[in-house]
Amino acid sequence: MSESIERVKCLIIGSGPAGYTAAIYAARANMFPVLYQGEQPGGQLTTTNDVENFPGYPEGITGPEMMIELQKQAERFGTEVRDGWVTKVDFSGSVHKVWVNETKEIHCDTVIISTGASAMYLGLPSEQKYLQLGGGVSACAVCDGFFYRNQEVVIVGAGDSACEEAHYLSKLCKKVTMLVRRDEFRASQIMEARVRNTSNIEILFNTSTEEVLGDGQVVTGVRVKNNVTGKVHDIEATGFFVAIGHKPNTDLFKDFLELDPTGYIINVPGTSKTNIEGVFVSGDAADNVYRQAVTAAGTGCMAALDAERYLAAIDSTFEVNTATNY
């Protein structure tokens, strides 16, 4: 092995609740984890202004503050947190090979993937502006809907997730306006029926978003266009929810790990194990259902425990083989 190649017992790819929780457990198990934060240190929660549904924070906490605390906790137990991102992997052999920033090569006994998934947005400058300000744009109704109780909101999307989130918002908000770009839903019939039969959900078909309106700090409305007539009008709203899907950050692993048709890593049910021994997955990279900070943290714990047991099994096998050779 070249002196330039580093050997790591447990490498964690990605931060966020999953990565940092895996690091806490791995460090406490003397696995000496090394964690690379990735292109978005702290993950999606760094774009969330207020987190009120994570246990242990009765007064709530901002997403960035929560990630700083999780990082400090991981480092307290000995995790080495590094800047940089993984650009290449090779899981074809008995040694798990990982390259960081296209140059540094690391050989790993175990790898925990916590790269998450990225919410897809419309890409409008006004949308991104208020997303960054934390002033009314969200891609998670379950996370942020609570802040819009008894208010009027707009949601964009036409699939099952959009219908589910619109129905969730309808229980909290005075009115939910649902924008569907085409003249029909992509959702299943049961989900479509659910939103159609909810009295405070208004569905606008053939409607696209032109601009998210605001006062420079928070959202005050949405400018929309009818794709058939070309008519443009404004809708008053304090929240703008985007439910057009998520993209798991897993392209890096597609040549080695089993992925589902939408790109999520397939794990052995009830575990964090992938189809490659010694490679584990946690968080939203494998979760297309819940996508919550608390569930991500739980699977981070699972991944570290699975990795620890994997290493223990290897060590015991080595000891048995060594004893037999004498």
Highest-confidence segment of 10-19, 54-63, 131-140? 10-19
Classify domain 121-242 at the CATH topology level: FAD/NAD(P)-binding domain (3.50.50)
How many CB atoms sit inside 10 A of residue 131's CB? 21
How far apart CA 287 and CA 54 sit, in angstroms, is 18
CATH of domain 6-118+246-324: 3.50.50.60
Fill in the amino acid letter for 275.
N
CATH 3.50.50.60-classified regions of the chain: 6-118+246-324, 121-242
Query: Looking at this protein, which amino acid is placed at residue 204?
Result: L
pLDDT score recorded for residue 320: 45
239 closest CA partner among 303, 133, 152: 152
Active site includes 140? yes
pTM: 0.81
What is the band of 42 on the pLDDT scale with cuts at 50, 70, 90?
low
Report the distance separating Cα 152 and Cα 146, nearest Å: 12
pLDDT above 80 (res 48): no
Q: How much is the pLDDT for 122?
A: 96
242, 137 Cβ separation under 8 angstroms: yes
The token duo for 303 is: 């991944």
CA 180: distance to chain centroid? 24
Q: What is the pLDDT of residue 98?
A: 97
How confident is the model over 247-276, as pLDDT tens digits? 999 999 999 999 999 999 999 999 999 999
CA separation for the pair 18, 39 (Å, rounded): 16
Partners of 189 in the β-ladder: none
Please check the confidence at residue 297 and state whether its pLDDT lies above 60: yes
143 is catalytic: yes
Question: Alpha carbon 197 to chain centroid distance?
Answer: 31
Is the pLDDT assigned to residue 324 strictly greater than 70? Answer: no
User: Out of 108, 144, 287, 306, which one is annotated catalytic?
Assistant: 144
pLDDT digits 0-9 by tens, 157-204: 999 889 999 999 999 999 999 999 999 999 999 999 999 999 999 999
pLDDT at site 63: 84
Q: Which of 10, 108, 143, 173 is catalytic?
A: 143
pLDDT for 4-30, tens place per residue? 899 999 999 999 999 999 999 999 999
Which is catalytic among the residues 10, 140, 163, 173? 140
pLDDT band at 92 (very low <50, low <70, confident <90, very high): very high
Tell me what the mean pLDDT of segment 270-297 comes to: 95
